A and B are shown apart, each in its own frame.
Chain A
Amino acid sequence: MELGLTANDWLLAAPFLWLAGAGVLVLIWDAVRPQPLAEGIVSWIGLGLAAVACLPILEAVRTEPVEAFSGMLSVNVPVIVLAILCLGAAAFCGIVAWRSLLPYEGGRHTTAFWTLLLFSTFGMVLTLWANHMATLFLGVECLSLPLYVLVALRRDQSDSIEAGLKYFLLGAFASGFMAFGMAMVYAATGDMSPAAISAAAEGSSLGVFGVALLLIALLFKVAAVPFHLWVADVYQGAPTPVTALMATGTKAATVAALLRWAPGGELMGPQSWAMLGCLTLLIGNLTALNQSNLKRMLALSGVAHVGILLFAFAARAAAETAEATSQIGDTLGYYLVAYGLAATAAFGALELLERRVGHSESASLQGIARRQPLLAGVLCIALLSLAGFPLTAGFLAKYFVFVEMIRHGLSSWAVIGILLTLFGFAYYLKALVTLFMQEPPEERPSLWRPDWVATMALLVPTVLSVVFGVWPKAIQL
């Protein structure tokens, strides 16, 4: 049978084949003979093979971007690195969930968890690689729908259900914006590739309207102000392993999509982007300042990080050469990796600490460093990286963004941004004070026992946060 596929098509399709294949295999396995361990192993192998399949693509795109399926997919270096990050985040989510989420309700949701995880990751990679509005829509939906369910997986907990429902309602709202926007752009330009965005910007107001709607949908997905309100409730309500996946994978995929599909300087100037970034940074930080729940605080701090990412978009809107634009793309990629590693480590450590004290209220985590020095240490490094403390990847990531802003004539915004990140130190350090410097409360006896596999897995992003902070060239962007 002649499929009519080129070599590039196969090359780019390989990761999808592994992910989808693993997902289907898990489903079949469950139908034949349910066996949680085997399902997990199949899923991890699928994720691993998908990551391995990314490596030849990385080699191929070193020189120039690769397109496939008549231009429906297109990849470059940062996109592939982010895809590997998403796959890693998914694998990590599985490891952390193994002892908490999977045995839940007698392990009856194991199959659902693994298939949804694999399909959601599929969607993330597709979103990253989409070079056509149809694939973008497919990717975003394929990413979101499984997540709605994963968020609500703890069916007996009202906040989990509530989070899933809210996420779903607002997500559906945003999907409507996205589909409608795409339709209008197509109507105005007759094109569905990223080039249509700039074409529409110069054309009729119908096209501009469409671009605006698409932008709104994507801003919702990356959680920029004022479309960020779902984040706190959803991140807090979701099972923490899923939160870690959302903070890392979803964020990386959607921000990369925004980079490809957002209007450039001709329609939305650097000042508008910087204003949006500043607003997001300010509101995110201010809201995070007084949170008593660490998970919620981390969720809102993620909003603040989106603000800094939007600053990079402002620099991109001001950039004039293609080289400068691609440089900013690399900067964004580095930022997303740095944030993703720190967020994974932070939520992962929080999940393991939660198991000991029951929830993530900072009051019950007081002085936990005495009982769990390793986990508290991991959380400490993760928080410092999130805050942007030197010698961590988070510091360099912020530094690179602000350098790009100054390079492209946005110095005053850069100063404002740097001042606003100081708020971040206030709540990150407050959390550290809680963990390390307060007297621990009396401990109630519990059935808690250490989860060494997950703890060891946590060390990977933690160590990488420091390694990339000292030696940024280690990420081959």
Chain B
Amino acid sequence: METPWLWLIPLLPFLGTLLNALLHAGVLRRRQQERDLMAPAVAVPERLAGWIGTGAVALSFLVAVAAFLRLKALPVDERVLTATLAPWIQAGSLDLSWTLSIDPLNAAMMLVVTGVGALIHLYSIGYMHGDKGFCKYFSYLNLFVGMMLMLILSESLLGLFLGWEGVGLCSYLLIGFWYEDGEKADAARKAFIVNRIGDFGFLIGMFLLYWGGGGSLNMSDINAAASQGAFSEGLATLAGLCLFLGCCGKSAQIPLYVWLPDAMAGPTPVSALIHAATMVTSGIYLVARLGDFFAFAPGVLPVIACVGAATALFAATIGIAQRDIKKVLAYSTVSQLGYMFLGLGVGAFTGAVFHLITHAFFKALLFLGAGSVIHAMHHQQDMFKMGGLRDRIPITYKTMLIGAFALAGVPLFSGFFSKDLILFETATGHTSPWLLWLVGAGGAALTATYTGRLLALTFYGEARFDPQKTKVHESPRTMTLPLMVLAVLSIAGGLLGIPFIMHPLADWLDPVVGQATLEVRGEHHPAHGLEIALLLVGSAIAIGFLSFGLRHYRRSPEEQRSRADQATGLLRWLANAWFVDALYALLVTTPLKILAILSATVDVFFVDGTVNWVARRSRATGNDVRRMQSGGANDYALWFSLGAVVIVVGLLAGTR
């Protein structure tokens, strides 16, 4: 169904970007006039920018809800809304237009992005208060939401890629938001460069899809072509792996996850929105959206499952030894994204999207809570220097507790249902089910442990800072309100799929991913006994390891601290993230640097030398030729006559 107003959804945030950019330009001009470059954004623009930014995304959310309702009113088989703005590229067989299309899958994504986005915008008003780049921040954040919506809603793969690069740019800009700090600027560059590797794969995959099947970049066409067998198997596998490489970059999977922990250099709401709830899930969205294609491409889904499981476990081991509260959450995000890919890989598309949604709620909540803690502790991020915050910031504490329970998978919280759905589907899948289940369950145990550790070190025990010097205070209303809303969602999110009782999400997504699920997993065989058993095991793991983590670190934080300071043996490896960064530096960065020096030498001596030589010769010749231009009319007449003789003789000789 053609629904032109869908374009409002991405255009409203873009409008916010524009207005906030203008406000920022105004602030810059005022600063220049007052010759005070460091002055914070003046009160009026700050308030205005915050509300413009939040309002734009909130309005976009309302339009998205309207679109959702319109979609829901349609019969199940016809649930697609489209909006074509204008033709884009028409070249040969390639015919692309600016088209948005909404199906049940991206409708869910769109609601998450705009809804959680609006909450995080609201939170940012409090968190970024007094920052000198306040208007700029909101301009970037709006741009991000607009680009993310382009990514989600575009009908063509190229439109998706446009959004994909757009969110990458915003991520870069926001990680390096405080770019005066060299380390933060480096983190931004790292994120950008690592993503380039993934984007390279994405582009190649896209070309292969266009070249090898039917000549269309529209995702519905690609899915249809794949189900009709338009792709050869080898090409489909290659294209699928290339696209997955892109997903590894954007969604931080092994081997390209290294940028995400460093991305925590950005403001905390940015970490919540971009690096936990939305952008990093683009890869999961892409695989789910092209589900029919991936289901057809042989060998790709098992690779995705293995990479996902390995990342889930590997990142969780690192998370257990981090001291920085945001780093813990960052590795936790990498790990949880791994679960989503594990789900995709075993054909549990619904499970992956379910976990994506619940994760968006509880991880955004945890990050915002961490932001609130950091805000309260005056930018202290080391958990060993916190402790005893439970009574000092009660709202933050209670909401974060809910988020932590959801992350650890405590029964009845949303994360419990989604994670256990993935683990159950893994155990009943076709790709070495028990090994992958074991890896996943091990990761779940570690997750519960580091979650308990985070709670214990931050909120319980004695204060390990000087309360006289550090005045801890609860955050303002704009920050606590989103926390509370997200806490409710972190509990209620489970209602999207409760085993044996209700599964609205699965029904909702069925028209999009049902075919692919059937293709990968075959007919559905109910295994109630196994499912109940796994649920019980999952509950036991979550509760057991969470309480272990809580108790262990609550009892002896000082001892843990000294151990962390010395960092010997295994702890040293964990705290340094298995030295992967150093390994990459040795294997990738150093050879590249050597190559760069070599090519620079060739450039300076050979390329530049040739070019400069040509330039010098030309100038010298120019000077010689200029002598013809003596200024004397008689010389000119002489040249004229010589030329005349040549032409006359030439023409006469030509006719003979």
Contact = CB atoms under 8 A, between A and B. Distances in A.
B625 A283 contact: yes
Contacts of A24: none
A208 B618 contact: no
A177 interface: yes
A170 B640 contact: yes
B622 A290 contact: yes
A270 to B, nearest CB: 12
Interface in B627-641: 628-629, 631, 633, 635-637, 639-640
B635 A229 contact: yes
B228 interface: no
Interface in A267-293: 267-269, 272, 283, 286-290
Nearest to B639: A226
A290 B654 CA distance: 37
A220 B640 contact: yes
Given A170-B640, A227-B640, A229-B635, A268 B625 contact: no
Contacts of B637: 169-170, 173
A165 B652 CA distance: 33
Interface in A146-177: 165-166, 169-170, 173-174, 177
Contacts, number: 90
Nearest to A168: B633
Contacts of B640: 170, 173-174, 220, 226-227, 229
B555 interface: no
Nearest to B635: A229
A269 B653 CA distance: 13
A394 interface: no
Contact of B655 (A208, A219, A286): A208
A85 interface: no
Given A205-B652, A208-B651, A209-B652, A289 B643 contact: no
Contact of B644 (A216, A230, A423): A216
Contact of A215 (B615, B622, B647, B654): B647
A139 interface: no
B602 interface: no
A426 B230 CA distance: 52
Interface residues of A, number: 38
A213 B648 contact: yes
A201 B655 CA distance: 8
B534 to A, nearest CB: 63
Given A215-B647, A267-B655, A268-B651, A229 B623 contact: no
A211 interface: yes
Contact of B636 (A229, A286, A289, A426): A229
B644 A286 contact: no
Interface in B589-634: 615, 618-619, 621-623, 625-626, 628-629, 631, 633
Contacts of B75: none
B625 A287 contact: yes
A433 B526 CA distance: 75
B629 A232 contact: yes
Given A170-B637, A205-B652, A289-B618, A233 B643 contact: no
B618 A170 contact: no
A169 B618 contact: no
A212 interface: yes
Contacts of B629: 229, 232-233, 287
A212 B651 contact: yes
A307 interface: no
Contacts of B650: 272
* Interface SS of chain B: helix
A469 interface: no
Given A232-B629, A287-B629, A212 B622 contact: no
B642 interface: yes
Interface residues of B, number: 27
A263 interface: yes
A225 B648 CA distance: 15
Contacts of A169: 633, 637
A24 B108 CA distance: 81
Interface in A61-97: none
Contacts of B636: 166, 170, 229-230
Nearest to B629: A232
A267 B654 CA distance: 7
A200 to B, nearest CB: 10
A216 B643 contact: yes
A226 B642 contact: yes
Nearest to B622: A289
Contacts of B623: 290
Contacts of A272: 650, 654
Most chain B Cβ neighbours within 10 Å, of A166, A216, A267: A216
Contacts of A174: 640
Interface in A423-454: 423, 426
A288 B652 CA distance: 33
A124 B254 CA distance: 74
Contacts of B615: 426
Nearest to B627: A287
A90 to B, nearest CB: 27
Contacts of A227: 639-640, 643
Contacts of A219: 643, 647
Most chain A Cβ neighbours within 10 Å, of B618, B621, B626, B640: B640
A233 B632 CA distance: 10
A173 B654 CA distance: 25
A268 B654 contact: yes
A208 B652 contact: yes
Interface in A245-303: 263, 267-269, 272, 283, 286-290
B635 A287 contact: no
Contacts of A201: 655
A90 B652 CA distance: 40
Interface of A: 165-166, 169-170, 173-174, 177, 201, 205, 208-209, 211-213, 215-216, 219-220, 225-227, 229-230, 232-233, 263, 267-269, 272, 283, 286-290, 423, 426
26 contacts: A169-B633, A169-B637, A170-B633, A177-B644, A208-B651, A208-B652, A209-B651, A212-B644, A215-B647, A215-B651, A219-B647, A226-B628, A226-B639, A229-B639, A230-B636, A232-B629, A263-B651, A283-B625, A286-B622, A286-B625, A286-B626, A287-B622, A287-B628, A288-B622, A289-B619, A290-B626
**What are the 6 A-B residue pairs with the smallest beta carbon separation, nearest first?**
A289-B622, A226-B643, A229-B636, A286-B622, A212-B648, A286-B625
Given A169-B637, A170-B637, A213-B644, 13 more contacts: A208-B651, A208-B652, A208-B655, A209-B651, A212-B647, A216-B643, A227-B639, A233-B629, A233-B631, A268-B654, A286-B621, A287-B625, A290-B626
